[in-house]
Amino acid sequence: MGEDAAKVGKVAKGPDMRVTVCGVELASPVIAASGTFGYGVEFEEILSFERIGAFVTKGLSREAMAGNPTPRIIETASGMMNAIGLQNMGVKAFVEGKMPRLREIAGAVVIANVFGFTVEDCLEVIRVLNDAPGISLYELNASCPNTAHGGMVFGTDPTLLGNLVGKCAKLAARPVVVKLSPNVTSIALMARTAAGAGAQGLSLVNTFLSMAIDPETRRPRIANVTAGLSGPGIKPIAVRMVYEAAQAVRIPILGMGGILNASDAVEFMLAGATAVQVGTASYADPRAVENIANGLRRWCEKHSVGKVSSLTGGVVL
């Protein structure tokens, strides 16, 4: 075979985009965040699951929840506020109605988001999910108020957080990634608490507690009064928190908070994230997760990065 013919037959090998999170290998470090990707099946005709790392389901509760009254979403100068109220069909309906199809979708890596208002609520959700094949990881939402302790948010109190994570991690049949609240004084303390209690990974940051008032009516713009702030406006704070958490623990971190493009994803990885989650961007572009995953591959090619995993913690100080 001539030299030219050999070149034609040789396929150029691109960067290795695989990352491993809690023992689960992902084809890409770009993941669709909870609450912005439905139950996954809604995106089957929109993007290729084989080109993204995974997706996180809507938060799943013990029983179905209707969520908060409207208005519950508003746009901000650089993002959005939402108080959906964790509306969902309930864990049993998800397992029976959505998982059969998800198991058939090529490349679909399912991360089930778990929440509850008591520890027992979360444990019951995990019990149901444990019996459902096809789920790779659990993401435990620690940003819910604990009704057994006066409404204090699990993720803002180290004692409550440690108790929740410890019991859930012990029961879970899959690795537990704990989604931390950013509404704390020390994210490093909460990261260490979760890791020490048995968390095998962390995801951060969740939305920031916020409020908006209409000057004309003098009423809150959100029916729930307060809401979670997300979008590019929170990114610099989120990057700082991911960096601080990564300095505090040695478990995988899924970074999120205002990611709109590949450069944003790289920024979070350099701060210490093993993978990233894309949320608010999917409202403007339903294919944002795949587009960012493709963009990250091109970024790696342009910058001669052979393995995307080498970016993690690579910030130069």
Closest to 25 (Cα-Cα) out of 61, 53, 66: 53
The residue from 122, 144, 168, 300 that is catalytic is 144
Q: Is position 82 annotated in a ligand binding site?
A: yes
Q: Are 156 and 183 in contact (CB under 8 A)?
A: yes
Neighbours of 38 (CB within 10 A): 14
Q: Is position 179 annotated in a ligand binding site?
A: yes
Helix or strand (DSSP H, E) at 290:
helix 288-302
Q: Is position 97 annotated in a ligand binding site?
A: no
Q: Are 257 and 237 in contact (CB under 8 A)?
A: yes
Q: Is position 9 annotated in a ligand binding site?
A: no
Neighbours of 187 (CB within 10 A): 25
DSSP state, 311?
G
Q: Is position 20 annotated in a ligand binding site?
A: no
Q: Is position 295 annotated in a ligand binding site?
A: no
Q: Is position 206 annotated in a ligand binding site?
A: yes
Give catalytic status of residue 168 as yes or no: no
Q: Is position 207 annotated in a ligand binding site?
A: yes
What distance in Å separates the CA atoms of residue 90 and residue 41, rounded to the nearest whole number? Answer: 16
Q: Is position 59 annotated in a ligand binding site?
A: yes
Enzyme catalytic residues: 144
Binding residues for substrate: 58, 82-86, 141, 206-207
Binding residues: 34, 58-59, 82-86, 113, 141, 179, 205-207, 231, 257-258, 279-280
Binding residues for FMN: 34, 58-59, 113, 141, 179, 205, 231, 257-258, 279-280
